[in-house]
Amino acid sequence: MAIERIFRAYLDFMNEKYKHEHLPDKVHVHDLVRCKHKSELEVLFPEGSYKLSPVLFLGEAVDEFVKNLVTNYKEKLFPDLVSTTSEIEKKVNANGVEITIIGRPDIIINDSVIEVKYSRTPEDKPLEHHIAQLKLYMYLTDKRKGILVYFTPHGLREFIFEEEIGEDYVIELINNWKSPRYEWECQYCNYREICPYRIYPAEKKGTGDISEKEEKKEEVKEIEIKNNAK
């Protein structure tokens, strides 16, 4: 069937796009802004990294389309476009240990970096992990301006950040990197059933159960979490 072939190609694409080494002295931006142990589990169980989720598929489609649009029509959109594919590295000294931070921003122009996000609903304010991701890209690119653009079925939102992001910000993220980084991550994680750091929602502590209705909500919510993985 065509659907099966398309999703097979999609999973191959995701694996190629996001695969990388997990080393103590080399940290990728999309790992640093989420649960630390999840990155370790992805090495042990790479098969569990991605779901066959149409919602996640749409998020990747939006991301790739926007970057292709910017590249193909750069003279009209961003004549000062620098890159939509660059992987950038910068070293920081965190508590006497030299760590290389690695990231691949969506869109880099001369004076700013732009990060594209897909969401089910318009956001009243940007999500905390998206802000952290954008600021790390601002640090890597030495830009004082960062723009978060949300694409949703109901409208578009844009949030602008203008500040200098220094090494102290990155070191703070490294020092506070824990499992999970945010309590809500566990509810939507593919590895939650085998994770020793799993946090249960207060109303379900001790049961380990999740209703069918909640399972459906997870599939829809997943794109907002996976969208960090850039």
pLDDT, tens only, 19-39: 777 788 999 999 999 999 998
CA distance 100 to 88: 10
Closest CA to 220 of 188, 196, 198: 188
User: Rounded to an integer, what distance in angstroms lies between the CA atom of residue 20 and that of residue 1?
Assistant: 31
Nearest 5 degrees, angle CA 14-CA 140-CA 130? 55
H or E segment at 217?
helix 212-226
pTM over 0.95: no
Distance CA 45, CA 137 (A): 28
Mean predicted lDDT score pLDDT of the chain: 86
Is 110 strand, coil or helix? coil
Q: Look at strands 97-103 and 26-28 and give their pairing.
A: parallel
Taken in order of first residue, the domains within the chain and their CATH numbers are 2-226 (3.90.320.10)
226 pLDDT higher than 60:
no
Nearest Cα residue to 35 out of 139, 187, 138: 187
